[in-house]
Structure 1
Amino acid sequence: MPMTTLDLPLSGIRVLDLSRILAGPWCGQVLADLGAEVIKVEHPLRGDDTRDWGFRLGERNTCYFNSVNRNKRSIGVDVGKPEGLAIVRDLAARSDVLIQNFKTGGADKLGLGYEALSALNPGLIYCSIAGYGSDGPEASRPGYDLVIQGESGLMGMNGNDDQPPLKFGVAIVDLFTGQYSAQAVLAALIQRGRTGKGRHIEMALFDCGLSVTSYYGLEALALGENPPRYGNAHPSIVPYGVFDAADGPLVITVGNNAQYERFCRIVIERPDLAEDARFATNLLRTQNRPELLPMIEAELRARPRALLLQRLAAGGIPCGEVLGLNQALRSPRATQAGMVSDDAGNADTPAVLAPPYRLDGKRAPLRHRPPGLGQDTDAVLGELGLDGPRITALRQTGAIA
């Protein structure tokens, strides 16, 4: 049986998503995937900035927008108009969670800051996302993923030592910040269950970017300098990384000495490399990387990928193909997992990734495809008690879509 909305952990939780672009909307999408009712507030004419980014789908959707707004409803409201602001304040009074990423101080100027809204709704969990900490000298600086990838050292640890700094393939700081924000919201919801009180959560992209450096960051602190960059290789394990077979790349991860011996004897048929004292342990293999890797690479390039993958699997050595993105998404593995939801007849959302969460053996459902701009405005306002004539009057003022 498919999972129903009532089966989801956040069923009954309402989230008011006032955020734009990626970090805030990603946070809202995580909560929506887990069952929350997420109402996305967009400008009635422009909508979210990402409706104008990247590959166009239909009239007002894009791949960017769709990637962070599934399972949400969209209302078009202009908070710059008193009538629109009143609608948002009314929704905030009836919500459990609010997400916003206005420039620091912007929400307060509108009357949508934490102090003002928590006075209306003491149980409100209010999540603010900004580029930098609100208590520091850079509080007013706008936060952009690429800038923070540079400032946090992420670009400096990515790529190879003989290449310039390299950004990640996706907006990694935005996405991690959204995920961290969702975790904090969930923790605050648990605490509110004990205390009945809301919290003000503040997340900074710069802080989250530093957190993503993980063990590389700690190595930099321990060394007192930048650690070497190894590209697709591993700084501490050899052989480990992306290698070229005769007909294409593959990933090989030899994680311990027993695997290394099987790799030499079974996969590349070089027992001499298993018996060589210079390569007897992983520490020695790492120290003697320049001598070992050229011999391994030559053996791998001499064999077809399918044969290598077969031998690696037989030897219990983790391995895999390196696929293009479209190949990966259309692979039998992705199809079996149900990770892509297709609707060829829907120009706005022809393909959408499914939520990654499995609960009691069932994937959390795609309840709502990413919305068109303001498509749920009338329905949400009706739930607030506004009748048809009142909605028409608000539309005539430009306060709503």
Structure 2
Amino acid sequence: MVGGAFSGKKKIFKGVRVLDFSRVLAGPYCTRMLADMGAEVIKVEQPVTGDDARGFPYVISPGNTGYYLQQNCGKKSISLDMRKKEAIAILKKLVAVSDVVVENFRPGIMAKYTLDYESLRAVKNDIIMCSISAYGQTGPLSSFVGNDLTTQAMSGLMDMTGEPDGPPTNVGAAIGDTIAGAHAFGAISSALYHRERTGCGEYIDISMLDCMFAQFEIAVQTYVLTKGEKNPRRAGIHHPTVVPLGTYRAADGWVVIGVFNDSAWKRLAEIMGKTELIEDNRFAGNAARAANRETVIGIVQEWVKNISVKKAVVLLQEARILTAPVLSVSDVINHPQIKAREMLAGVEHEGVGTVKITNSPLKLRNTEAGVSGKAPLLGENNRDVLTGIGFSSTEIDLLKKNGVIYDKL
């Protein structure tokens, strides 16, 4: 049983079959989005251990963890030894009846197994293949080992995160993976639409580094448009050029406060009981406030330090000033907004009952997106999937006996 008030409306990718060679996060995040939209996702896993995420912390049952369950709910699992030619033959049979192939191996690995795009096109001319890697399929770093942390480091994001006099800091979630996964989902969706219109397949090369670099909304332009005279650096908890815009310590926690124009500055001054600031030329316009950044930050901090986060947020929201409390993970999990948006879904899992995982953030009016089932056991769907492409029960038993396929059932 899956939690959430799902309507039973049709899902957009119902009837689309995805062969998923990916593991851990970037690829599984993408294919989870496809599964949430109705695609049949067949996850290809190595024998015995399966996806590395099956061994990550917070074990639900042997071979299944909270990490694995969240990224792989609603998928099927087949487990094959890709070192055996029989396994490659099976996979190519599956390609022939699939729409999309997703992988996040290091560049060159799929070619080693004759599962690269050109080889798969020979099996199915209109196949859509998406490769996700740390640095992409081309360039001097293409063969380098990488992950979320390395791409945060190389993208410039870590250098932009943290206190000015502190070390470069990675953010608190693996956004290098999830942003790449979301971009891959968008590219695959576009390729499916293109194929619907033209009959042509596509090869998609997603680099985690490219996706991270593309997130800079102003830092790149700051450097480019000043011809390198300004090299953006981390500014800590306050924005370097929009003032005030940052995080402030209230009496019982932290609160975000932001002002983007003089009208909002006037309202903030009134709330703080400092109407004299409205006519003060030091604060007339953002450029002036930025020139007096530390003074502005100090004035706002002095006001908010003696009131509660709740009171500050109420006062500021009533005045239509940008604000929000800084919540912990436990706070946001239990927040009424998250509950109202049905961003947690309950999935029934063998031996443990209902496990709550994040739901799809995609909210559609006429169709539906959302968790469609539990994550599979390793090799749980071997028999069903192979039967679907013409293997008899006897042949499947022999494949298992010969170590071509594997399951923990």
Distance 1:350 1:117 in 2: 37
Partner in structure 2 of residue 12 of structure 1: 15
Partner in structure 2 of residue 206 of structure 1: 209
Partner in structure 2 of residue 171 of structure 1: 174
| 1:325-344 paired onto structure 2 within 5 Å | 325-343=329-347
Q: Tell me how many residue pairs correspond in the alignment.
A: 399
User: Structure 1 residues 190, 311: CA separation in 2 closer, same or farther (over 3 Å shift)?
Assistant: same
Deviation at 1:339, TM superposition (A): 0.8
| 1:150-189 paired onto structure 2 within 5 Å | 150-189=153-192
Partner in structure 2 of residue 96 of structure 1: 99
* SS class of match (1:129): strand
> What amino acid is the match of 2:51?
D
Q: 1:124 and 2:132 equivalent?
A: no
> What amino acid is the match of 2:330?
N
Partner in structure 1 of residue 376 of structure 2: 371
Q: 1:264 and 2:264 equivalent?
A: no
Distance 1:77 1:349 in 2: 29
Comparing 328-337 and 51-60, the one that deviates more: 51-60
Partner in structure 1 of residue 308 of structure 2: 304
* SS class of match (1:68): helix
Distance 2:367 2:249 in 1: 37
Comparing 218-227 and 367-376, the one that deviates more: 218-227
Comparing 139-148 and 16-25, the one that deviates more: 139-148
Partner in structure 2 of residue 277 of structure 1: 281
Distance 1:352 1:101 in 2: 23
Distance 2:260 2:60 in 1: 44
Task: Report the TM-score, using the length of structure 1 for normalisation.
Answer: 0.94
Q: 1:294 and 2:320 equivalent?
A: no
The answer as to whether partners of 1:260 and 1:274 remain within 8 angstroms in 2 is yes
Unaligned stretches of 5+ residues in structure 2: none
User: Structure 1 residues 361, 243: CA separation in 2 closer, same or farther (over 3 Å shift)?
Assistant: farther
Identity of aligned residues (%): 36
> What amino acid is the match of 2:263?
A
> What amino acid is the match of 1:17?
D
**CA RMSD between the two structures:** 1.9
Distance 1:104 1:344 in 2: 37
User: Structure 1 residues 335, 219: CA separation in 2 closer, same or farther (over 3 Å shift)?
Assistant: same
Deviation at 1:344, TM superposition (A): 7.3
User: Structure 1 residues 307, 205: CA separation in 2 closer, same or farther (over 3 Å shift)?
Assistant: closer
Distance 1:149 1:94 in 2: 37
* SS class of match (1:252): strand
* SS class of match (2:205): strand
* SS class of match (1:163): coil
Task: Report the TM-score, using the length of structure 2 for normalisation.
Answer: 0.92
* SS class of match (2:22): coil
Q: List, as ranges, runs of 4+ consecutive aligned residues in structure 1 with deviation greater than 4 Å.
A: 343-346
Q: String of CA shifts for 1:269-319, please: whole Å, max 9, x gaps.
A: 221222322112122111111112112201110222222222112211122
Deviation at 1:363, TM superposition (A): 5.3
The answer as to whether partners of 1:3 and 1:365 remain within 8 angstroms in 2 is no
Partner in structure 1 of residue 70 of structure 2: 67
The answer as to whether partners of 2:27 and 2:103 remain within 8 angstroms in 1 is yes
Distance 1:124 1:345 in 2: 33
User: Structure 1 residues 217, 369: CA separation in 2 closer, same or farther (over 3 Å shift)?
Assistant: farther
Comparing 226-235 and 142-151, the one that deviates more: 226-235
> What amino acid is the match of 1:27?
C
